[in-house]
A and B are shown apart, each in its own frame.
Chain A
């Protein structure tokens, strides 16, 4: 925490126990690591260009996660909360579109790669 910072907005993603009413046992995340890191850095750079933020943290886990565990954390500090809220929202929304990370949902009767098929 820096003295100029007036607020930190933190988004913590957690593994839900169901999708569309179907019980989720666990999730499995896979990343194309070098490109995922490159795309995350691009998103952070865009956040700094768009808003007067001070610090940005983007953290994503891979491997198997149980219900309730935390796959992703985004944190943004800024002098004023509006920039922190807006940038934090932008980062998680954009991460979900461009960062090459994939989530497989494991159900009782099978598993599905999220968003793969129409």
Chain B
């Protein structure tokens, strides 16, 4: 399945744009997504940490992904 991943903050710099598209198997999990992204964008691994959000909620590595999910990479937050 084809999924779109939104990027914010430094992740947008790493991806070179506000979003990227990836082709994943239909049973892909957040962990699979992270594995692929880190392979394609090694700079992700140099971040202090980052989270993945699915439909505006922080996701766990084992969570499944679906084609219509809104997926975002959340680098370390620094509001306030």
Binary contact track B53-66/A, C-beta < 8 Å → 1, others 0: 10011100000000
- CB neighbours of A29 from chain B (8 A): 79
A35-51 interface with B by 8 A CB criterion: 35-36, 38
Contacts of A96 in B (CB 8 A): 77-80
B78 touches A115 (CB 8 A): yes
What total of chain B residues lie within 8 Å of the partner, measured CB to CB?
20
Contact of A116 among B47, B56, B72, B79 (CB under 8 A): B47
Q: Give the distance to chain B from A71, nearest Cβ to Cβ, in Å.
A: 7
Q: Is there contact, CB below 8 Å, between B78 and A113?
A: yes
Listed stretches A2-10, A75-83, A98-106; interface member: A98-106
**Bound complex: CA A98 to CA B6 (Å):** 18
Most chain B CB neighbours (cut-off 10 Å) among A98, A101, A113: A113
State the interface size on chain A (CB cutoff 8 A): 29
Check B46 for interface membership: any CB of A closer than 8 A. yes
- Whether B76 is near chain A, meaning CB under 8 Å from some CB there, is yes
Q: Are A116 and B77 closer than 8 Å at their CB atoms?
A: no
Question: Contact between B53 and A116 (Cβ–Cβ < 8 Å)?
Answer: no
Contact in complex: A99, B9 (CB < 8 Å): no
| A-to-B contact residues, CB < 8 Å | 13, 29-32, 34-36, 38, 60, 71-72, 92, 95-104, 113-118
